[in-house]
Amino acid sequence: MESYITVGAENSTPVELYYEDHGSGPPVVLIHGWPLSGTSWERQRLALLEAGYRVIAYDCRGFGRSSKPSVGYQCDTLAADLHVLLRTLNLIDVSLVGFSTGTGTVARYIGSYGTDRIRKAVLIGTLGPHLLKTPDNSDGVDASVFAGFKAAILDDRGAFLQKFLRDSYNVDEGEGGVSEYVIRENWNVAVNASSIATLACLDTWIEDFRADLPRNDIPTLILHGDADRLLPLHATASRQVKLISDARLVKLRNGPHGVLRTHAQEINRSLVEFLA
């Protein structure tokens, strides 16, 4: 039996999130990145189950098997969806683990709802405090980069996703990458996401989390590849760790953006040790 929770509605249609809830023990909620789904946590879920955790992975709205509405693709709404999930499943003393855009959801959740339910947080391939270059954020990325992404998606979404995924794994560098089967598997998930969500969720990359981060008063682990060409370390994790009171940064050597695959063993070991 498939499991869904209702987080809202668009006109006459409910907005439902698909989730999987396995194991027993301290709860861990996994929040995937754009443009994939909860299936991207395949290797981490197995490691956490073996370590004795209850593992909940869900598909964000617009992706995977969740509803695909035309609205709600800002971090405020994505955090509200997470809040409904935690309340519906009555999860307390829970650890949140986010990857890429999922780290923005974690940051905004804590900024909006606090840490009463949360025990620890793990941010992998994080968006950082503020990715967009602005007059008061000179280390950010120029807005033209994101405008180019959107134009490419509108022109040929399938081709863009193929290039994006290959860049996620730095496949042109050869060693330490992934097989073409992984790219194909990821592409199948990504291309079946909502075209609206794929475009709109890019804006979560450039949201400003600087007001959210000081509210994070729980132990936080940040894992980031030092060869991440999509979310460069210097503009993201290296800055974010300084804005959270109890945070530690682990740099993953030669790690691209897609470290959940390329550095699975190192990430799994760090996760289990940190959450223990």
Spell out the residues 6+ positions from residue 177 whose beta carbon is closer than 8 angstroms to its own. Answer: 169, 170, 171, 256, 262
Indicate which residues carry an active-site annotation.
100, 228, 257
d(CA 251, CA 157): 32
d(CA 203, CA 125): 17
| pLDDT tens readout for residues 63-98 | 999 999 999 999 999 999 999 999 999 999 999 999
Query: In CATH, what number does 3-275 get?
Result: 3.40.50.1820
Could you give the percent of the chain with pLDDT greater than 70?
A: 99
Integer angstrom CA distances of residue 207 from 90, 127, 131, 186, 237: 29, 9, 7, 25, 15
Report the pLDDT averaged over residues 231-249. Answer: 95
The residue assigned the tokens 């008061």 is 136
Q: Can you give the pTM of this predicted structure? A: 0.96
Helix axes of 264-275 and 42-50: crossing angle, nearest 10 degrees: 40
- State the pLDDT at residue 172: 85
| pLDDT tens readout for residues 137-164 | 887 888 898 999 999 999 999 999 999 9
Minimal CA–CA distance to 17: which of 88, 75, 96, 105?
Answer: 88
What's the farthest any 2 CA atoms get from each other in the chain?
51
Tell me 124's DSSP state. E
Angle at 220 between CA 218 and CA 221, to 5 degrees: 165
- Listed by start position, the domains of the chain span 3-275
Q: How many C-beta atoms surround the C-beta of residue 115 within 10 A?
A: 15
Minimal CA–CA distance to 122: which of 255, 276, 5?
Answer: 276
d(CA 30, CA 16): 17
